[in-house]
Amino acid sequence: MSKVKIGVMSFAHMHAYGYAQALTQCAGVDFVGVADDDQARAKAAAGQFGVKAFDSYSDMLASDIQAVVVCSENVNHRRHVALAAQSGKHILCEKPLAATLHDAEAIIEIVRRSDVRLMTAFPCRFHPAYKQLKASVKSDELGKVLAIKATNQGKCPWGWFVDKSLSGGGAVMDHTVHLVDLMRDMTGSEPVRVYAEIGNRMYGKDFDDTGILTVDFADGMFATIDCSWFRPKSYPLWGNVNMEVVGTNGAANMEMYAQNVDYFSDENASHTYVYWGDDTNLALVSSFADSIRQGRNVEISGEDGMAALRVAMAAYESAKSGRAIDLRE
46 belongs to a structural domain: yes
What contacts 225, CB < 8 A, 6 or more positions away?
150, 151, 152, 176, 179, 180, 211, 212, 213, 214, 215
188 and 255 both lie in a single domain: yes
177 and 321 both lie in a single domain: yes
284 belongs to a structural domain: no
180 and 322 both lie in a single domain: yes
- Of 302, 325, 300, 306, nearest to 101 (Cα)? 306
Provide φ and ψ at 264, rounded to 5°. -110, 125
Q: C-alpha 20: how far from its chain's center? A: 15
Residue 192 belongs to a domain with what CATH number? 3.30.360.10
Provide φ and ψ at 195, rounded to 5°. -125, 135
215 and 89 both lie in a single domain: no
144 and 53 both lie in a single domain: no
247 belongs to a structural domain: yes
What's the pLDDT score for residue 1? 63
Provide φ and ψ at 260, rounded to 5°. -150, 165
What's the pLDDT score for residue 237? 84
Provide φ and ψ at 286, rounded to 5°. -65, -45
Angle at 94 between CA 10 and CA 63, to 5 degrees: 45
Residue 87 belongs to a domain with what CATH number? 3.40.50.720
236 and 216 both lie in a single domain: yes
50 and 93 both lie in a single domain: yes
Provide φ and ψ at 185, rounded to 5°. -65, -40
Name the E strands within the chain. 4-9, 29-35, 52-53, 67-70, 90-94, 118-121, 145-151, 191-199, 210-217, 222-226, 242-247, 251-255, 260-265, 270-275, 325-326
- Domain with 16, as residue range(s), is 4-116
Provide φ and ψ at 124, rounded to 5°. -60, -25
201-224 per-position pLDDT tens digit: 999 999 999 999 999 999 999 999
112 and 136 both lie in a single domain: no
Provide φ and ψ at 41, rounded to 5°. -65, -40
Domain boundary among the residues 98, 116, 134 is at 116
147 and 264 both lie in a single domain: yes
17 belongs to a structural domain: yes
110 belongs to a structural domain: yes
Distance set, CA 224 to CA 149, 150, 194, 242, 274 (Å): 5, 6, 10, 12, 28
131 and 15 both lie in a single domain: no
Do strands 191-199 and 210-217 pair parallel, antiparallel, or not at all (unpaired)?
A: antiparallel
Render each residue's pLDDT in the chain as its tens digit; 329 residues.
Answer: 689 999 999 999 999 999 999 999 999 999 999 999 999 999 999 999 999 999 999 999 999 999 999 999 999 999 999 999 999 999 999 999 999 999 999 999 999 999 899 999 999 999 999 999 999 999 999 999 999 999 999 999 999 999 999 999 999 999 999 999 999 999 999 999 999 999 999 999 999 999 999 999 999 999 999 999 999 888 888 889 999 999 999 999 999 998 889 899 998 888 898 888 899 999 999 999 999 999 999 999 999 999 999 999 999 999 999 999 999 98
Domain boundary among the residues 116, 134, 153 is at 116
Domain boundary among the residues 99, 116, 133 is at 116
10 belongs to a structural domain: yes
110 and 131 both lie in a single domain: no
| pTM for this entry | 0.96
163 belongs to a structural domain: yes
Q: What is the DSSP string of 224-252?
A: EEE----B-TT-SSSB--EEEEEESS-EE
Per the structure, the count of domains in the chain is 2
298 belongs to a structural domain: no
315 and 167 both lie in a single domain: yes
